[in-house]
């Protein structure tokens, strides 16, 4: 057992050495745009990560476009911008600088089912409500409705859509409502399927726990629309008028961030200290490993300052 642990530490040490030599190969100036994850990359909970403000300021000065792509479903984009400003990040107030999984879900549902569709929701908070309202889709938040209220209106329909988003509160009563409406629900979607996200106090449960509960209850496959679904990164690229080959994706999750970047052909950077660790990389398929690994965004600041 001791020997096995020693071998693992040796592998990680060799990986760190390889990463150190690799860092000299990153030429940020060769990319016209950069896509950042937020939780675990720009900030962790309510604490900004080392080098984040400086890096964004340098990108502005060098004329390199950037965009924030997050699986945060519960916050409206304008509130995310306000959070960044309050953390000392000097950016404009344009909410199109951010793409959320709630926005991606709303656009997908509009394109696939049209404006006259009705979407039942669990979780997602103001983020989901804001994006569905923007595209003109009617929302029924099941947490705030009784079973009688919902069934009296929709008991004769079989085309209802169910959208799941992050929440800390999922009650037995809401589960009962979903079960009673199961014959009326045509498809179930989720804003994302993140198992956890970074916070000041460590990783916290993401939307996956709710998806698992509803999937098991209804015995259905749930379609997740946020990262690593390629539609998420595609939206960000369209907003920036960028191509995958000219874009660098920076994230802290191998499953959500690095995987979507690889799927579309972007170069990828994993920031340690967030959702994924060096140990996680060792068991990943080689095709899904990041192109570069850094400890902090300040590492990229140093590279930009000498190039």
Give per-residue pLDDT as tens, 196-219.
887 777 788 999 999 999 999 999
For range 180-204, the mean pLDDT = 88
Residue of 98 and 305 predicted with greater confidence: 98
What band does 278 get if pLDDT is binned at 50, 70 and 90?
Answer: confident
Check whether 59 has a pLDDT greater than 70. Answer: yes
pLDDT of res. 6:
41
Task: Give the span between the Cα atoms of 307 and 304, in whole angstroms.
Answer: 5
Task: Give the span between the Cα atoms of 102 and 48, in whole angstroms.
Answer: 23
Q: How many CB atoms lie within 10 A of CB 154?
A: 17
Task: Give the span between the Cα atoms of 218 and 221, in whole angstroms.
Answer: 9
Check whether 25 has a pLDDT greater than 70. Answer: no
Is residue 177 within 8 A of residue 157, CB to CB? The reply is: no
What burial class does residue 27 get, using C-beta atoms within 10 Å of its C-beta: 0-12 exposed, 13-18 middle, 19+ buried? exposed
pLDDT of res. 2:
32
Task: Give the span between the Cα atoms of 257 and 43, in whole angstroms.
Answer: 15
Nearest one of 181, 179, 71 to 124, comparing CA atoms = 71
Alpha helices per DSSP H over the chain: 2-23, 52-62, 77-86, 101-113, 125-135, 147-154, 172-180, 208-218, 230-240, 259-264, 278-282, 298-305
Is residue 255 within 8 A of residue 242, CB to CB? The reply is: no
Is residue 40 within 8 A of residue 274, CB to CB? The reply is: yes
Instruction: Please state, rounded to an integer, the average pLDDT across all residues of the chain.
Output: 87
Domains in the chain, please, with CATH?
Answer: 2-71+228-305 (3.40.50.1000), 102-224 (3.40.50.1000)
CA 277 to chain centre: 17
Q: Which residues of 259-277 are buried (b: 16+ CB within 10 A; e: fewer)?
A: bbbbbbebbbbbbbbbbbe
pLDDT of res. 35:
98
pLDDT of res. 79:
96
Give the global pTM: 0.87
> Looking at 161-165, 188-192, 218-222, 286-290, which range is the least confident one?
286-290
Check whether 242 has a pLDDT greater than 90. Answer: yes
pLDDT of res. 18:
46
pLDDT of res. 20:
45
Q: Which residues of 39-78 are buried (b: 16+ CB within 10 A; e: fewer)?
A: bbbbbbeeebbebbbbbbebbeeeebbbbbbbbbbbbbbe
């Amino acid at each position: 057992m001791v020997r096995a642990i020693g071998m693992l530490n040796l592998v990680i040490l060799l990986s760190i050495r390889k990463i150190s030599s690799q860092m000299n190969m990153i030429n940020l100036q060769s990319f016209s745009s950069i896509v950042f994850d937020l939780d675990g990359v720009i900030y962790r909970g309510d604490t900004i990560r080392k080098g984040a403000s400086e890096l964004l300021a340098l990108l502005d000065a060098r004329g390199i476009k950037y965009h924030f792509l997050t699986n945060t479903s519960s916050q409206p984009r304008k509130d995310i911008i306000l959070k960044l400003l309050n953390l000392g990040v000097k950016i404009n107030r344009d909410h199109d600088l951010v793409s959320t999984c709630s926005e991606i879900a709303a656009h997908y549902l509009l394109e696939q089912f049209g404006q006259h569709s009705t979407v039942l929701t669990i979780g997602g908070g103001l983020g989901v409500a804001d994006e569905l309202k923007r595209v003109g889709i009617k929302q029924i938040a099941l947490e705030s409705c009784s079973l009688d209220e919902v069934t009296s209106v929709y008991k004769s329909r079989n085309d209802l859509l169910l959208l799941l988003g992050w929440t800390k509160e999922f009650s037995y009563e809401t589960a009962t409502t979903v079960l009673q409406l199961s014959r009326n629900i045509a498809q179930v979607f989720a804003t994302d399927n993140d198992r956890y996200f970074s916070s000041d106090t460590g990783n916290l449960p993401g939307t996956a726990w709710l998806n698992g509960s509803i999937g098991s209850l209804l015995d259905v496959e749930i379609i997740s629309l946020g990262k690593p679904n390629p539609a998420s990164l595609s939206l960000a690229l369209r907003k920036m008028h960028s191509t995958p080959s000219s874009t660098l994706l920076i994230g802290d999750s191998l499953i959500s961030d690095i995987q979507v970047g690889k799927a579309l052909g972007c170069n990828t950077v994993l920031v340690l200290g967030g959702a994924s660790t060096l140990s996680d990389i060792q068991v990943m398929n080689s095709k899904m490993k990041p192109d570069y690994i850094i400890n902090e965004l300040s590492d990229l600041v140093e590279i930009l300052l000498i190039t």
